[in-house]
Amino acid sequence: MKITFWGAAGTVTGSLHEVRAGGVHFILDCGLYQGRRKETRERNLNLPVKASSLDAVLLSHAHIDHSGNLPSLAKFGYQGPVYSTPATVDLCGAMLRDSAYIQEKDAEFLNKRLHRRKKLEAPDNNGLVEPLYTLEDAERLLPLLRPVSYHTPTALSGELTFETFDAGHMLGSSAIVLRERRKGREIRLAFSGDVGRKGLPIIRDPETLPPVDYLIMESTYGGRLHEPEEAVKEKLAAVITRTSERGGKLIVPAFAVGRTQQLVLLVHELTRENRIPRIPIYVDSPLAVDATEVFRKHPECYDREAQEHLDNNRDPFGFRALRYVRDVAESKALNDLRYPAMIISASGMCEAGRILHHLRNNVEDPRNTILIPGFQAEHTLGRKIVERRAEVPIFGEPMRLRAEVVRLNALSGHADQQELLRWMKPLVPHLKKVFLVHGEPAQSNPLAEAIHALFGVSAVVAQRGESVSLS
């Protein structure tokens, strides 16, 4: 079994790991890289593996940093299966179409701006922008998705099988266990995907995996500890209250799948408990609207608390103050609001979509708040906002950051250091080695040290392009 780490190695985006085992050539995930615009385009456009040479794709979950470059595979000739859980398959139908639409619309917007600059004879070093892939490419990919339920061993060849377990990160997320049997010997490899946290709204807790020899594990928060969940609700209630009292708006860049639905449920609960002012809540994302319908379709993935909402005939994703926005004109009208409101919009790292327009119209008003409910990768606009830079670039133009900035990292769907260690502890007796991915060095290195100190297991931080052979 040979693994080559291509994506989410030394960073938290663009998950992609190439595997050759049991006579099969496949990849784990095929996500979009997010960062500096030029580097982002080069990495996403130039796939590190030849698409037509692949036999299969195993997809851990639907977040764009894990699934978002799948249409490029189809664009470059891939015709094999993409295996994932039924909920992930349904989410990808909405997410990949939306990603392609955003690729096309953002290219159109930037090209219009370039045309205006040329008319004004303003210098511009960038040429016309082509979308990374199109809606046609996404539609070509979608029929390749193959749903496989949790705990269902599936053969990739006579020597290789895989099985998925609930990772507790988002609806349908999975950890994947591979078993290669050759010449009477078995090699067992686990890929964690993104490991969730106990007690997250809506979804079930992460499952314990069966014994494995090797583990590829995420490390997004490998050097940090999260606040307790109740502290998150208190913080959320406080920021909504004070922003409302000064007449401002809350602009929330949230992943359309997972984070948005969790926020909606928490705001619903705070409203029912009379802990926040009754201000209008807008979910401004066609993808979030579609994804919420997928959530409603898969109650089998819910935890006990979310199920109680259904048992009491309450829609966990709908209440009087909440409005879902799909229409473009209605989205633009939100920028004319002159009263307190909360606008939740994608993308979660502020790199594309409607959130950019809301930020452009609101970051310079000190009455407003930018509420960041999750991790922001290095070089993204979201990271620059979190760092509270005096100016931030939006559509290539500098904007003064005068709005309040509040982080809610504890709402993250990623386990922190102690939660990761507890999750992997049952695997320790059989583990030979751990490969850490999906983390910046400041997070991966402390986790590697903690794993070795606590369990005596070798843990290495995977490097982009590095190959390892397992035996």
Instruction: Tell me the residue type at 14.
Output: G
CA–CA separation, 260 and 95 (whole Å): 14
> Which residue ranges form the domains of the chain, and what is each CATH number?
2-224+413-469 (3.60.15.10), 229-411 (3.40.50.10890)
CB atoms within 10 A of CB 53: 10
Q: What rounded mean pLDDT belongs to the chain?
A: 91
pLDDT at 121: 61
Place of tokens 């049952």: 426
Query: What one-character DSSP code corresponds to residue 28?
Result: E
pLDDT at 126: 59
pLDDT higher than 60, residue 235: yes
pLDDT at 256: 77
The 10s digit of each residue's pLDDT in 399-412 is 999 999 999 876 77
Question: Span 427-436, mean pLDDT?
Answer: 98
pLDDT at 304: 85
What does 310-343 look like in DSSP terms, one character per residue? HHTT--TT--TTEEEE--HHHHHHGGG--S-EEE
**Total residues belonging to the chain:** 471
Q: Among the listed ranges 2-6, 209-213, 323-327, 433-437, which one has the minimum average pLDDT value?
A: 323-327
Q: What is the pTM of this model?
A: 0.83
Q: Give the CA distances from residue 122 to residues 37, 118, 119, in Å, rounded to whole numbers and listed in that order.
A: 21, 6, 8
Instruction: Tell me the residue type at 362.
Output: N
**Helix count (H) and strand count (E) of the chain?**
14, 22
Buried b (16+ CB within 10 A) or exposed e, 59-97: bbbbbbbbbbbbbbbbbeebebbbbbbbbbbbbbbbbbb
pLDDT at 210: 98
pLDDT at 261: 87
pLDDT higher than 60, residue 122: no
> Prior bond to 347 cis, omega within 30?
yes
Please indicate whether residue 225 or residue 191 has the higher confidence score (pLDDT). 191
pLDDT at 195: 98
pLDDT at 163: 98
**Residue 372 forms beta bridges with which residues?**
407
Crossing angle, helix 229-245 and helix 259-272, to 10 degrees?
Answer: 70
pLDDT at 408: 84
CA–CA separation, 363 and 360 (whole Å): 6
- Chain centroid, CA 387 distance in Å: 20
Question: Span 262-281, mean pLDDT?
Answer: 91
Angle, vertex CA 456, rays to CA 451 and CA 459, nearest 5: 45
313 — pLDDT class (breaks 50, 70, 90) = confident
pLDDT higher than 80, residue 233: yes
Q: Are strands 281-284 and 341-345 parallel, antiparallel or unpaired?
A: parallel
CA–CA separation, 232 and 227 (whole Å): 7
pLDDT at 380: 87
pLDDT at 21: 97
pLDDT higher than 70, residue 168: yes
The 10s digit of each residue's pLDDT in 348-370 is 788 877 899 999 999 999 999 99
